[in-house]
């Protein structure tokens, strides 16, 4: 009976269905089924005017967004917030914003000073190993960030060779140092 009641409630859409009507269809015994479905949050029972109405969860949300001004305002604000979070998240995956870039640069510099040889050259692979672990970034992401850092900042110098690194003038540059 529960599934039949749920089907009927869902079919009633945003308008919902009167509780009395459900009793007419399924008999007065349907009270316990309605209670159970309400506890499982599959249906919502609320007043509309003076009558008790029953909605499915999704339809109830649409109903109050259209009819309750307070809910309407809060819902819009939540939606904006959600959009902003999504935008920031997509910005972070596409082009890193200033924040994470600064973090990357400082971690990169610290790591470079730790691994530096007497001439200052450090294999990119050593920095990559450490930063991918500590910052939780993929090797591809690391090299994308490292590449833009080195390209935009003339304080870094890269040198050819090594097994991995960044490509400049079509050549693999596996070593870096800070001037």
Partner 1 sequence: MTYPYGLKSNPYPSSPTPTEHDAKILGGTKHQGAKAAIMECILDLYKKTSRRNSTENDFRLITVVQDVGSGKTHLALHIKTLKTRQDIVTTYVDMSTISPRTNESIYNAIMHGFSKELFSELKGKLLGQICEKAQKGDALAKKALGYGFVDKLKGVTLKQKADDLLYDKTHVSPYALHDYLAANHNQHEQVIIRNILGNSFDKITNLDEIHGRLAAMAKFSHNLLGKVILFEMDEFDAQEGSLDFVKSLINAHIPASVLLLITTPSLYLDVQKANPSVFDRLEKANYKIDLAGANSVDELIEIAIEYIRDSDKTERFNKKEQHDLAAKVRVLCDEFPEFRNVRSIINILNHAVEKASDLGAQEISETVIDETIKQTYPGLKIKGSIMDVPISDFIKIKRESGTTQNQVREAVSNLVNYVHEMGNVSKSSKPNPSFDVVYSDPFGTKIGITIVMDANHTKNFETISNAVKSSAFVDKLVILTNTSIPASSHATIVLVDKSKVIDLLYFNSKYTEHKIEEPESEKVKMLAKTICVI
For position 164 contacting partner 1 by CB under 8 A, the verdict is no
For position 93 contacting partner 1 by CB under 8 A, the verdict is no
For position 16 contacting partner 1 by CB under 8 A, the verdict is no
CB of 98 to partner 1, least distance (A): 5
For position 98 contacting partner 1 by CB under 8 A, the verdict is yes
For position 83 contacting partner 1 by CB under 8 A, the verdict is yes
Q: Which stretch binds partner 1 (CB under 8 A): 7-15, 51-59, 80-88, 128-136?
A: 80-88
DSSP helix/strand/coil, 137 = coil
For position 161 contacting partner 1 by CB under 8 A, the verdict is yes
- Calculate the alpha carbon distances from 1 to 12, 20, 28, 58, 133 in Å: 17, 16, 12, 21, 55
CB of 118 to partner 1, least distance (A): 6
113-95-77-17 Cα dihedral, nearest 10 degrees: -120
Q: Between residue 114 and residue 143, which ones bind partner 1 under the rule CB under 8 A? A: 117-121, 123
- The residue assigned the tokens 């007043």 is 47
Q: By C-beta, is 143 or 175 nearer to partner 1?
A: 175
Do 164 and 148 contact (CB within 8 A), yes or no? Answer: no
- As a whole number of angstroms, the distance between CA 179 and CA 161 comes to 19
- As a whole number of angstroms, the distance between CA 92 and CA 88 comes to 6
DSSP H/E element including 47? strand 43-48
Q: Which residues bind partner 1 (CB under 8 A)?
A: 80, 83-84, 87-88, 91, 97-98, 117-121, 123, 151, 154, 157-162, 168-169, 171, 173-175, 177, 179
């Amino acid at each position: 009976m529960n599934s039949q009641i749920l089907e009927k409630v869902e079919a009633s859409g945003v308008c919902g269905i009167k509780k009395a009507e459900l009793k007419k269809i399924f008999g007065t015994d349907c009270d316990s089924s309605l209670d159970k479905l309400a506890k499982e949050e599959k249906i919502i029972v609320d007043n509309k005017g003076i009558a008790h109405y029953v909605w499915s969860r999704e339809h109830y949300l649409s109903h109050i967004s259209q009819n309750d001004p307070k809910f309407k305002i809060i819902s819009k604000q939540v939606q904006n917030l959600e959009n902003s979070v999504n935008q920031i998240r997509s910005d972070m995956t596409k082009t890193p914003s200033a924040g994470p870039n600064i973090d990357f640069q400082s971690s990169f510099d610290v790591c470079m000073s730790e691994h530096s040889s007497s001439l200052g050259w450090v294999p990119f692979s050593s920095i990559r190993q450490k930063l991918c672990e500590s910052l939780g970034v993929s090797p591809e992401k690391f090299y994308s960030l490292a590449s833009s850092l080195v390209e935009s900042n003339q304080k870094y110098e890269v040198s050819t060779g090594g097994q991995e690194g960044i490509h400049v003038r079509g050549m693999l540059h596996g070593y870096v140092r800070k001037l």
